């Protein structure tokens, strides 16, 4: 499940639900577009108009940015889905008529990014992804109450929030209609990946309206709102939650348990779905920004696992352990010194690691983001099915559920990836780069974003952040985990692997806990292609860096290189390689004046 802006998909379950007004007819919108003559002006007019429309599809008012709280919940009806496909196909036809060679050099990158976005949106609509609006850890019914730091700032934002709550019944009705259509077409997530996920719906039920998560923003309202207005807003909120929201969740729970879950498919492979081979290849193209085949990716994964395994073996010996690798993995999974005793201990360790990064990062990155981030636990209603952590602009979510599944030896790599200098740096830097069009500032390409975050785990080795052999082994285990995804994702969706095969492969090649392995495998089963982006993206960045180091020699500046990668923003991997080639051609000069 992804929203239309292709923002950081990892945070969708805890972000405010994406929202939209009913889409305007594509033809009517196109008729009002200006008709500039130069290729550059035509491209800007087309992309700007579509981006504004796309924001409205996600629930924003004209003039809003994706950072502005949404005003509406989406129209996800079949008519709206058809209108979106029509609009994006027309946009694709219009931009195809513009030759990239006719654009200035900088605009060619914008063109490549934008074309990839439109192609991915068309593929999602054509493959009817909207008929599967829930997977093993992401669902449309979570996050409507806002993210972990959601708090309206004024009366207008409270009224927008109330509007969204009032639309929950209509929104859930449309989503379940789409799910029924998916059942009829054979388009559902595999049943095994939805086992127990009804608990994330039931978690919203069984409480009085005033004790639900939906009412939390009304418990402490800003003093700038008059007392009488506060009272009226609270009264409306309680009535809306009682009369609309809770009944919608109850109806959804009944539908999920009685009608949907029992009839979901028992197969795993994406290629067994209608148009499955084409849709899986489209997913590979979207998430890796390459045209690699499943067989090529599978082979790469096997080769990289072998390389990482050798490093793991050396690090195990450095720890003083005298047994073999299976014994070492078994010991790591149960040795009590590697596990926090309380949620607060895990959160505080994560915070300490993040502050250690703060003390060293200036030697590795020249231009740092202005936005800070907080560290908070994953919400309880999704924590049992959620990954170990996720991060982004302003937040580092740490899963404190089932502490024996959260090894401390992996926490340093996890923190580097999800917070500083990974997602909590890359995403704000993109948004703060006002030299780029909004469709680049606020959009996310997984190969680039996840590739950067995984690269940051390796960078921690250079930064001296892995203080013990166990910390370093945790990093290598995470590298193996991402390389293993190349094998497992293609194994499941292309080669017919079973769930048990995938679980065993990860248990044999990483130090992940069994709970995390099972959660991750279910994610790969229900989200084809996404898992491929991490390691392929990291490989591209590491290869580009090696090329720059070899070409520039003593002139290579690590801060300038990282600034180039981050300033370029979320781009297809071939475009990132081209930008690093320009960096080499410029003699290692970065985009900012203070890199030295």
Q: Which of 457, 504, 506, 459 is nearest to 480 (CA)?
A: 506
Name the DSSP letter for residue 139: B
DSSP β-bridge partners for residue 218:
none
pLDDT class for 441, splitting at 50, 70, 90? Answer: very high
- pLDDT tens column, 262-281: 999 999 999 999 999 999 99
pLDDT class for 10, splitting at 50, 70, 90? Answer: very low
% of the chain exceeding 70 in pLDDT:
93
> Comparing 67-71, 293-297, 470-474, 490-494, which segment has the lowest mean pLDDT?
67-71
Alpha carbon distance, N-terminus to C-terminus of the chain: 43
Q: Show the CA angle centred on residue 38, arms to residues 34 and 40, nearest 5°.
A: 90
**Contact status, residue 319 vs residue 516, Cβ threshold 8 Å:** no
> From its phi and psi, is residue 275 left (phi > 0), alpha (psi between -120 and 50) or beta?
left
Residues contacting residue 259 through CB under 8 Å, at least 6 positions apart: 180
Mean pLDDT across 196-210:
95
Mean pLDDT across 56-85:
91
Q: Is the pLDDT of residue 190 over 70?
A: yes
Residues contacting residue 322 through CB under 8 Å, at least 6 positions apart: none
Q: Is the pLDDT of residue 246 over 70?
A: yes
What percent of the chain is helix, strand and coil (3-state, nearest 5)?
65, 5, 35
> Comparing 2-6, 119-123, 324-328, which segment has the lowest mean pLDDT?
2-6
- pLDDT tens column, 341-367: 999 999 999 999 999 999 999 999 999
Domain boundaries, the chain: 9-189+191-264, 282-535
The confidence score (pLDDT) of residue 381 equals 83
Q: Is the pLDDT of residue 6 over 60?
A: no
Name the DSSP letter for residue 260: I
Cα–Cα dist 218/500, whole Å: 46
Name the residue with higher pLDDT: 150 or 132: 132
Instruction: Taking each helix axis as running N to C, give the angle between helix 469-493 and helix 514-526, from 0 to 180 degrees, rounded to the nearest 10.
Output: 30
The confidence score (pLDDT) of residue 4 equals 57
Mean pLDDT across 212-238:
97
The confidence score (pLDDT) of residue 264 equals 97
Name the residue with higher pLDDT: 147 or 224: 224
Q: Is the pLDDT of residue 30 over 60?
A: no
Cα–Cα dist 486/479, whole Å: 12
Cα–Cα dist 189/532, whole Å: 19
Q: Is the pLDDT of residue 595 over 70?
A: no
Secondary structure of 321-343 in the HEC alphabet? CCCCHHHHHHHHCCCHHHECCCH
Q: Is the pLDDT of residue 25 over 50?
A: no
The confidence score (pLDDT) of residue 70 equals 87
- pLDDT tens column, 447-490: 999 999 999 999 999 999 999 999 999 999 999 999 999 999 99
Average pLDDT score over the chain: 92
* Long-range residue pairs from 516-520, CB within 8 A, at least 24 positions apart, any chain: 516/387, 516/388, 516/405, 519/136, 519/137, 519/385, 519/386, 519/387, 520/387, 520/481
Mean pLDDT across 507-534:
96
Residues in the chain, overall count? 596
> Comparing 10-24, 274-288, 429-443, which segment has the lowest mean pLDDT?
10-24
Q: Is the pLDDT of residue 16 over 70?
A: no
Cα–Cα dist 384/354, whole Å: 25
> Comparing 25-39, 208-222, 284-298, which segment has the lowest mean pLDDT?
25-39
The confidence score (pLDDT) of residue 337 equals 96
pTM score: 0.91
The confidence score (pLDDT) of residue 352 equals 97
Name the residue with higher pLDDT: 20 or 60: 60
Mean pLDDT across 392-404:
94
Give one DSSP letter per residue of 547-559, joined into a string: HHHHHHGGG--HH
Strand, helix or coil at 407? strand
pLDDT class for 65, splitting at 50, 70, 90? Answer: confident
- Residue 535's Cβ-side half-sphere holds a number of Cα atoms within 13 Å equal to 26
Q: Is the pLDDT of residue 304 over 50?
A: yes
**Contact status, residue 218 vs residue 233, Cβ threshold 8 Å:** yes
> Comparing 25-34, 556-565, 566-575, which segment has the lowest mean pLDDT?
25-34
* Burial (Cβ within 10 Å: 0-12, 13-18, ≥19) of residue 244: middle
Q: Which of 306, 338, 323 is nearest to 474 (CA)?
A: 338
pLDDT class for 147, splitting at 50, 70, 90? Answer: low
* Beta-strand pair 395-398/389-392: antiparallel
Alpha-carbon separation of residue 403 from 97, 339, 395, 471 (angstroms): 55, 7, 20, 18
């Amino acid at each position: 499940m992804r929203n239309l802006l292709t923002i950081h998909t990892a945070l969708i379950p805890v972000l405010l639900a994406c929202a939209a007004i009913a889409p305007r007819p594509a033809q009517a919108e196109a008729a009002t577009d200006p008709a500039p003559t130069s290729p550059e002006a035509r491209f800007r007019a087309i992309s700007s108009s579509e981006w504004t429309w796309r924001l409205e599809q996600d629930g924003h008012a004209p003039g809003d940015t994706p950072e502005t709280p949404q005003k509406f919940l989406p129209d996800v009806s079949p008519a709206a889905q058809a209108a979106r496909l029509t609009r994006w196909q027309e946009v694709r036809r219009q931009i195809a008529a513009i030759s990239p060679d006719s654009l200035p050099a900088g605009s060619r990158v914008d063109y490549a990014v934008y074309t990839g976005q439109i192609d991915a949106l068309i593929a999602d609509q054509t493959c009817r992804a909207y008929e599967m609006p829930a997977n093993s850890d992401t669902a449309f019914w979570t996050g409507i109450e806002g993210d972990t730091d959601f708090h309206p700032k004024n009366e207008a934002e409270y009224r927008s929030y109330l509007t969204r709550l009032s639309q929950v019944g209509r929104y859930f009705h449309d989503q379940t209609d789409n799910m029924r259509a998916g059942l009829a077409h054979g388009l559902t997530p595999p049943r095994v990946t939805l086992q127990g996920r009804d608990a994330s719906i039931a978690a919203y039920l069984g409480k009085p309206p005033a004790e639900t998560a939906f009412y939390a923003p009304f418990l402490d309202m800003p003093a700038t709102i008059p007392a009488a207005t506060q009272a009226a807003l609270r009264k409306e909120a309680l009535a809306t939650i009682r009369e609309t929201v809770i009944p919608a969740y109850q109806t959804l729970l009944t539908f999920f348990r009685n009608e949907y879950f029992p009839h979901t498919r028992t197969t795993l492979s994406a290629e067994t779905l209608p148009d499955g081979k084409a849709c899986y290849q489209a997913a590979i193209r979207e998430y890796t920004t390459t045209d690699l085949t499943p067989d090529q990716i599978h082979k790469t994964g096997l080769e990289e696992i072998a390389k990482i395994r050798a490093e793991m073996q050396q690090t195990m010996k450095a720890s003083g352990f005298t047994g073999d690798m299976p014994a070492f993995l078994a010991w790591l999974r149960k040795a009590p010194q590697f596990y926090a005793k309380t949620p607060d201990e895990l959160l505080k360790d994560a915070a300490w690691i993040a502050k250690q990064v703060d003390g060293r990062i200036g030697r590795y990155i020249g231009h740092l983001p202005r936005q800070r981030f907080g560290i908070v636990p994953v919400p309880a209603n999704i924590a049992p099915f959620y990954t170990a952590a996720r991060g982004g602009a302003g937040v580092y979510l740490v899963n404190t559920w089932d502490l024996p599944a959260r090894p401390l030896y992996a926490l340093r790599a996890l923190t580097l990836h999800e917070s500083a200098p990974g997602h909590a740096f890359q995403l704000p830097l993109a948004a703060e780069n006002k030299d780029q069009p909004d469709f680049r500032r606020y959009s996310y390409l997984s190969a680039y974003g996840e590739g950067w975050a995984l690269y940051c785990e390796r960078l921690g080795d250079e930064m001296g952040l892995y203080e013990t052999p166990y910390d370093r082994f945790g990093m290598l285990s995470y590298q193996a985990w991402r390389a293993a995804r190349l094998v497992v994702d293609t194994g499941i969706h292309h080669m017919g692997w079973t769930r048990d095969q995938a679980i065993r492969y990860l248990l044999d090649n990483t130090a992940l806990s069994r709970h995390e392995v099972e959660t991750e495998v279910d994610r790969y089963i229900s989200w084809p292609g996404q898992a491929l982006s991490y390691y392929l993206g990291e490989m591209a960045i590491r290869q580009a860096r090696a090329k720059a180091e070899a070409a520039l020699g003593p002139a290579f500046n690590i801060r300038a290189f990282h600034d180039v990668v981050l300033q370029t923003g979320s781009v297809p991997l071939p475009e990132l390689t081209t930008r690093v080639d320009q960096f080499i051609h410029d003699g290692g000069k970065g985009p900012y004046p203070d890199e030295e």
